[in-house]
Structure 1
Amino acid sequence: MARQPGTKKKQPTQTTAQRLDSIIKSARKHMRKDRGLNTDLERLPTLVWVMFLKFLDDKERIEEEKSVLSGTPFKPAIARPYRWRDWAAKSEGITGPDLIRFVNDEKAVLPGSEEEGPGLFAYLRSLRNGGSGKDRRDVIANAFRSISNRAESGYVLRDVINLIDDIHFTSSEEMQILGRLYETLLREIRDAAGQSGEFYTPRPVVRFMVNVTDPRLGETVLDPACGTGGFLTEAFEHLSAQCRTVADRKTLQTASIFGGEVKSLPYMLAEMGLLLHGLEAPQIDPENGLRHRLTDIGEKDRVNVILTNPPFGGEEEKGILNNFPEDKRCQETTLLFLQMIMRRLKKAGKGRAAVVVPNGTLFGDGVAARIKADLIENYNLHTVVRLPEGVFAPYTDIPANLIFFDTSGPTKDIWFYEHPLPPDRRKYTKTNALAFEEFEPCLSWWANREETERAWKVHGHDLIQRDAEGKVVSCNLDLKNPNAADALDHRPPAELVDSLITHERRILDILAEIKATLAEPV
């Protein structure tokens, strides 16, 4: 039926997911109008800090309402007029140059008054817990310590703020959907970061490592190079499922999850991700995790579980290198983190670690060999899972490995498991990525280990080669699968030649038999 003149066309009703997706897209579109934000990576920090402050205010509104109902006092982390509701929630509020000055300047005229006080970012950076513990004020201060407002136009920033204000973090449905949008933001930032050598761990790999390491409630979990917090959020979810009492929940909230991240944007994303998942005051160290001397690490610094993907190929300054033994100093950040991880595990079998390392760590000699020998001789390196090409696409095609060790050492046997590619793939890609379900065979094998076409074991100490003076010269963990179909290619040359001669002789014998048969009269 034709529409009657003068009537409006009925618009389709948007789902919550579509509405939130539309808000984020509109916010990005507005930020493109700001001449100071030239690339997506430059625009994302602005979107992240705006969302972060809106989320915090909504979260504190809920907690304030609960405190009123329970009759308990409530002290907000952010005071007036710096709360979102005071300066951002009014669509016709502070804007233009006044908004930029309020956000950026050390001193500015405060919204809704003629008084002068610290600017927004200056105030947020000054927040500290007056007591002995760590609370949300410390989280906020650390999150904003290196973040800067990159928006130059206060009018554009006001438009973005008005859009984000339409997201309601008080709604459980919107929280779940925002979590998925948050993951989209993470992927985009990871893609951009990969161009500068930062590789983020795919969620299926994170989930697998947490699953087999199996942190238990009451244990401490650390990721010393947590990036955007993938290992920590997965570990938090894993531990949350074990909570049964109020005391359990308190243990989870205050004494379970710890991280470290030196870069400001991933730090803020890690904090926001953990807050979204329900951790009230994430304890993430904003300083370099390698800044302490190994000899200064004591029992109070040790944890039960370490889950991490340390930076590949990074380089550290000389002051950091001095924290390590002279014969184990190097520029490769992965090797420095590996030493620190070993020292930060609780002793006597109470500590265990799962670490992502590149192939170069497995076959490297020199300092790498000495570190691996230390790992084998003083820790129990029990498993190496070898991943195929493309797991870390689009950042790199270099195959990575997952190494698992604990403090029940020294190492006896090292089990190797070669994760296969799907039959129809030559490698994983960004669009055809690894799925968690593909780890099912490895998970089944993990509890009941036996040699298969994918799994084999070697004696750890046999891999350490020393010179006449007893110094470690080699420790090669880059081992080929002896049970694979192409294992013949890796046999010693003499054995391979003998096998070929035998094979050729057998072919000649068969041909001779066929010729003799053909020569016989019919």
Structure 2
Amino acid sequence: MLQNNRELKGKIDLLWDKFWSGGISNPLTAIEQITYLLFMKRLDELDLKRQSDAEWTDEKYTSKFEGVWVPPEHRTKLSGRESATELVEILAHDRHQYGVDKRTLRWSEFKRMQAEEMLQHVQGKVFPFLKDLNGAESNFTHHMRNAVFIIPKPALLVEAVKTIDDIFEVMERDSRENGQAFQDIQGDVYEMLLSEIATAGKNGQFRTPRHIIKLMADLVQPQLGHKIADPACGSGGFLLGAYQYIVTQLAINAGTNNLTPDEDGFVRTSVAATLTEKAQAILASSLWGYDIDATMVRLGLMNLMMHGIDEPHIDYKDTLSKSYTEESEYDIVLANPPFTGSIDKGDINENLQLGTTKTELLFVENIFRLLKKGGTACVIVPQGVLFGSGGAFKTLRQLLVERCDLKAVITMPSGVFKPYAGVSTAILLFTKVWGSKDKVTQPATEKVWFYEMAADGYSLDDRRSKQEGNGDLQDIIVQFHNRDSCSTAADTDTDRTTKCFMVPRTEIASEKNNYDLSHSRYKTNVFEDVHYDAPGVILERLIQAEVGEVDEMELARVQSGIVRELLELKGMLG
């Protein structure tokens, strides 16, 4: 992943240092301001590419930077009773008096301005234009209403613009050389900035590593037409992961056959893959995200828009609260909800029945509620959810086993989320079979596939440097999709000494196991017989290592030190 590109990391470090020294020291404020600039840059690039593609295919495309833009505050308020002639005259007057040539709002245009002029132009025209990009009634404009551009110094803006140009150049080269055709640009910068600050991970504000998102997408295999959600979406990484997977499958189905695996072993292609207008419209309307942090909502909206989704469905909502009423809406839910402890009991949606305030449990129950019957979720949880002894823990696990087809429990090593957090986590993959009010006539799960991930292709320390190979990532995908063909009917003969195996529901639900879902509960440990030398022989060897070959009389004269103590131990053994 790009986090291992030293040149890019150096550029990100430089950008962060510039904002810090320029007076913007709050991490999320800096990230948001940087995202605005990334958005300006990416919007220009995407528009130019669409123009070029339209010319190549001889299709019509209207550039976002074509014509004249009138700032909202200078638009004449209309009563709705104007005649067509009056309306034309009013619009013509506004454009003539207050209109801004949209071409000057392009990144490639304003970056050539002098420092003072550039700052005034970006503050007074470019940023207001971005906020108004999708029209006054759009979701994007609504969430951008309170956004402010607060880069205070001309020199800081000039340096930031130059550094961002350099970052995109490095990313393009990385894409060509390492097969990373699809880049989560804003997400990568966001993650790398967070890794620079001590408060990374506070309140759950950290991003799921891209290779884990790709793993989860390959497990779920979302399809065009599926309605996909993330109820705690942050910067939109899971939604982009689903989008990327679907785009890749459409490209393969259309005959693209020269795709090579990326550095994590996944086959992916970019948004540049040929999509029909209908497919693009279906895909854009398929992705839904919610978050309780207004800054993250803006970041998520811009992130998806930077990848060609013009009207993202990302909104400010607390999906655990009483005000969130959606139920049985989604075919796929991909999520890594925050593990922030407890929330106020009075705020919890009455439809959530676990009787707990622990968010890691409530989110999983809520995800179950959001799924349509037959819908599938792939969710990251702290490993404590698998074996916690409290009543709510057991009730949730029972729900997953009896009302859902719990397909897989994949435990991950604690280093996967470093440097943000060292918590051990697991991936739960389940399909909803019985609704929360249905009478369960037959438990939905027959058997559960367990896998113990030992490595994810990166070092498990704070550095998270790329290792040779892909760890267990590709093995997990192959083994999961072949799990039925390699297991017996009763699953009593599966080899539980290996890292993956099947366990029947009857064993999990037994009185002995009480719906425990921890891998170690069912794994058979293999103990090897190890032969050790007799203690006297070991002591003799230690003494020789200290003093070499000497006779007994000389040894007897040793009065103190470790040799004396070893001799005394030897004497005790007789």
By the TM > 0.5 criterion, same fold? yes
Whether contact under 8 Å (1:354, 1:403) holds in the other structure is yes
Are 2:37 and 1:50 aligned? yes
Tell me which of 334, 339, 343 is aligned to 1:307.
Answer: 334
Matched to 1:31, the amino acid is F
Partner residue, 1:196: 202
Partner residue, 1:12: none
Residues 278-427 of structure 1 mapped to structure 2, 5 A cutoff = 278-291=308-321, 296-299=325-328, 302-325=329-352, 327-347=353-373, 349=374, 351-364=375-388, 365-408=390-433, 410-421=444-455
What is the SS of the residue equivalent to 1:480? helix
Deviations 1:419-444 (A, max 9, x none): 2349998x555334686452233223
CA distance in 2, matches of 1:482, 1:23: 47
Are 2:19 and 1:31 aligned? yes
CA distance in 2, matches of 1:212, 1:429: 27
Are 2:139 and 1:138 aligned? yes
Tell me which of 466, 482, 490 is aligned to 1:448.
Answer: 482
Structure-1-length-normalised TM-score: 0.69
Compute the displacement of 1:164 (Å). Answer: 6.2
Compute the displacement of 1:352 (Å). Answer: 0.7
Deviations 1:172-211 (A, max 9, x none): 9479589486454232244345341424322222111111
Whether contact under 8 Å (2:335, 2:380) holds in the other structure is yes
Matched pairs, number: 441
Residue identity over aligned pairs, in percent, reads 22
**Pair 1:276–1:241, CA change in 2 (3 A):** same
Q: Which runs of 5 or more residues in structure 1 are unaligned?
A: 1-16, 104-109, 112-118, 132-136, 467-472, 489-499, 504-522
CA distance in 1, matches of 2:342, 2:114: 46
Partner residue, 2:518: 478
Whether contact under 8 Å (2:385, 2:393) holds in the other structure is yes
Deviations 1:324-345 (A, max 9, x none): 44x5243322212111110111
CA distance in 2, matches of 1:439, 1:19: 26
CA distance in 2, matches of 1:482, 1:211: 26
Compute the displacement of 1:72 (Å). Answer: 6.0
Whether contact under 8 Å (2:19, 2:30) holds in the other structure is yes
Whether contact under 8 Å (1:321, 1:330) holds in the other structure is no
Greater mean deviation of Cα atoms: 192-201 or 403-412? 192-201
Are 2:158 and 1:159 aligned? yes
Compute the displacement of 1:238 (Å). Answer: 1.1
Deviations 1:393-422 (A, max 9, x none): 122222111111002462222221122349
Compute the displacement of 1:148 (Å). Answer: 3.9
Compute the displacement of 1:388 (Å). Answer: 2.1
What is the SS of the residue equivalent to 1:241? helix
What is the SS of the residue equivalent to 2:502? strand
Residues 451-466 of structure 1 mapped to structure 2, 5 A cutoff = 451-452=494-495, 453-460=498-505, 463-464=508-509
**Pair 1:357–1:162, CA change in 2 (3 A):** closer
What is the SS of the residue equivalent to 2:414? coil
Compute the displacement of 1:71 (Å). Answer: 5.0
Greater mean deviation of Cα atoms: 265-274 or 164-173? 164-173
Q: Which runs of 5 or more residues in structure 2 are unaligned?
A: 71-99, 177-181, 255-274, 434-442, 488-493, 531-574
CA distance in 2, matches of 1:75, 1:424: 41
**Pair 1:287–1:485, CA change in 2 (3 A):** same
**Pair 1:156–1:329, CA change in 2 (3 A):** farther
Partner residue, 2:245: 238
Greater mean deviation of Cα atoms: 175-184 or 284-293? 175-184
Are 2:108 and 1:79 aligned? no
What is the SS of the residue equivalent to 1:304? strand
Compute the displacement of 1:357 (Å). Answer: 0.6
CA distance in 2, matches of 1:20, 1:281: 30
CA distance in 2, matches of 1:424, 1:238: 22
Deviations 1:6-41 (A, max 9, x none): xxxxxxxxxxx999888766654543442x323655
Residues 68-107 of structure 1 mapped to structure 2, 5 A cutoff = 70-71=59-60, 79-80=69-70, 81=100, 85-86=104-105, 89-90=109-110, 91-92=112-113, 95=116, 99=120, 103=123
Partner residue, 2:189: 185
Whether contact under 8 Å (2:413, 2:454) holds in the other structure is yes
Whether contact under 8 Å (1:228, 1:270) holds in the other structure is yes
Partner residue, 1:506: none
What is the SS of the residue equivalent to 2:347? helix
What is the SS of the residue equivalent to 1:217? coil
Whether contact under 8 Å (1:147, 1:264) holds in the other structure is no
**Pair 1:313–1:20, CA change in 2 (3 A):** closer
Greater mean deviation of Cα atoms: 456-465 or 399-408? 456-465
CA distance in 2, matches of 1:310, 1:401: 12
Compute the displacement of 1:446 (Å). Answer: 1.5
CA distance in 2, matches of 1:188, 1:84: 32
What is the SS of the residue equivalent to 2:520? coil
**Pair 1:331–1:156, CA change in 2 (3 A):** farther
**Pair 1:170–1:145, CA change in 2 (3 A):** farther
What is the SS of the residue equivalent to 1:328? coil
Whether contact under 8 Å (1:169, 1:175) holds in the other structure is no
Deviations 1:114-156 (A, max 9, x none): xxxxx955x755666567xxxxx533543x35544443x3324
Matched to 1:196, the amino acid is K
